[in-house]
Amino acid sequence: MKPIPLYEAAEVEMYGRKAVNLGTAVKHGLPVPKGYVLSASIVVQFVKGELNLEGDIRSMLDALGSVSVRSSAIQEDGEQSSYAGLFHSCLNVTTVKGVEQAIHYIWESAQSKRLNSYIRRAEGVATIDDSDASVQIAIIIQQMINSDVSGILFTRNPVTYADERVIEAAWGLGEAVASGYVTPDCFRMNRSGEMTESTTGLKEIAIRFGPCEGIIEHKLDDIISNSLSLTAKQCSQLNGLAENCEQTFGPDIDMEWTLADGKLWLLQCRRITGFI
């Protein structure tokens, strides 16, 4: 059993919806960073000490450089329950040992009491016995992008359900937005890409690459923190990416994206959770 390239991930039961969605995006020519996925069964064998992945991980690092190690649980990114923030991620990992530790770390997050409580609420499960204490979890190992600006784009307003784009953006890696470290800038556009509103958020820090591995909080000066992180042209680029994603995945989607050295990347794409 071997890790496979993202574009080969097709079975949600083996690779999770996040990996399958990314694989679909790659096959449709969307700008997804290169990566690989470990099936749920490979992850189980590895954490039990039954499978040595050192050679495979070394080959992946040689091909990708710095990587992100992220969950792709079988239940994750569903239309009614996203499981967002419940599984750990490890960013800017550069060594075999670091990737191995990240796999264990993410696996352990799939067995937490917090996750069990979420499952009971989201799936309507009354009790979870010890044999069901974890979920099946595949893992994505993907080229890490050293971002200038990152954020989220909703192809429909997730609060009002208005037929408009809503973009949240901040300097640096998307972790600053996803984890609530900053109040992001907010942009609203109609489907033709015309800006209808732009609001500057409170962005006192940016999440950047650490000096060797991992990530750090970088303090921003007042001018940068109070400046809009996207230009009108970049918002137009994002609108174009949104159109392409809708052609592939359908309407009402939630996209994680990043910009680095002028290139726009798609990091995740899923249905807006609970949207009716």
Q: Which fold has domain 149-271?
A: D-amino Acid Aminotransferase; Chain A, domain 1 (3.30.470)
pLDDT at 184 over 70: yes
How do the domains of the chain map onto residue ranges? Answer: 4-143, 149-271
Rounded to whole angstroms, the Cα distance separating 192 from 203 reads: 28
Give the pLDDT of residue 65.
Answer: 97
Average pLDDT, the chain: 90
pLDDT at 112 over 80: no
**pTM greater than 0.85 (yes/no):** yes
Per residue in 113-132, pLDDT (tens digit) is: 555 555 555 555 544 444 44
Rounded to whole angstroms, the Cα distance separating 119 from 76 reads: 11
Give the pLDDT of residue 122.
Answer: 55
Give the pLDDT of residue 131.
Answer: 44
- Residue 164 tokens read as 């408009």
Give the pLDDT of residue 136.
Answer: 85
CB of 106 closer than 8 Å to CB of 83: no
Per residue in 206-243, pLDDT (tens digit) is: 999 999 899 999 999 999 999 999 999 999 999 999 99
Q: How far is CA 63 from CA 33, 58, 82, 166, in A?
A: 12, 9, 30, 35
CATH homologous superfamily of 4-143: ATP-grasp fold, A domain (3.30.1490.20)
CB of 96 closer than 8 Å to CB of 61: yes
User: Where is pLDDT greater, at 26 or 114?
Assistant: 26
Q: What is the mean pLDDT of residues 8-12?
A: 96
* pLDDT interval class at 87 (50, 70, 90): confident
Give the pLDDT of residue 130.
Answer: 44
Would you say the CATH fold of 149-271 matches that of 4-143? no
